[in-house]
Amino acid sequence: MRTYLSMTAIGQESEMDAQGVLPFAVDDPLLTAAEAAEVLGVSRWWFGELVRRGRVGPSARIGGRLRVRRSVLDRYRAEQAGDPQDPYLTYEDIGVYLGVSSWTAGELVRRGLLAGTRIGRRVVVLRSVVDAYVQACTR
């Protein structure tokens, strides 16, 4: 009996089922660019940019069309969401958390007192960084 490489678990081999269908074809379907963009809630153009910039991948061109597995999109969404125990905070969130204005929160980031990360056009800060700043100020 032949074995085939599962695309969802690189390095693990699995056999075809009785009907001759590979296991990953059902569990982890290939999506078109339009379907993937809908899953991510972005435009098809932006999805293509994410793939070109290497943020979403691996992907494949099949018949001249971009295809990506659902598991790849799920992994990307999990990375963007971050750690639920240590979420990203926007300037507004930092302001509410510290009891200051969002402008003051932005000034803390601009002055380098809080290490921020740019995601798209928005600057975000991990809550653990804000907590460390508060601890340093209260000592």
Stretch among 27-41, 70-84, 91-105, 108-122 having the lowest mean pLDDT: 70-84
Higher-pLDDT residue of 29, 111? 111
- 48 near 33, Cβ under 8 Å? yes
Class of domain 3-81: mainly alpha
- What sign for the dihedral angle of Cα 139, 136, 130, 96? positive
pLDDT band at 100 (very low <50, low <70, confident <90, very high): very high
Q: What is the mean pLDDT of the chain?
A: 81
Domain boundaries, the chain: 3-81, 88-138
Could you tell me the pTM of the whole model?
A: 0.50
- 56 near 80, Cβ under 8 Å? no
pLDDT digits (tens, 9 = 90+) for 25-74: 457 888 999 999 988 888 999 899 999 998 888 888 888 888 999 999 88
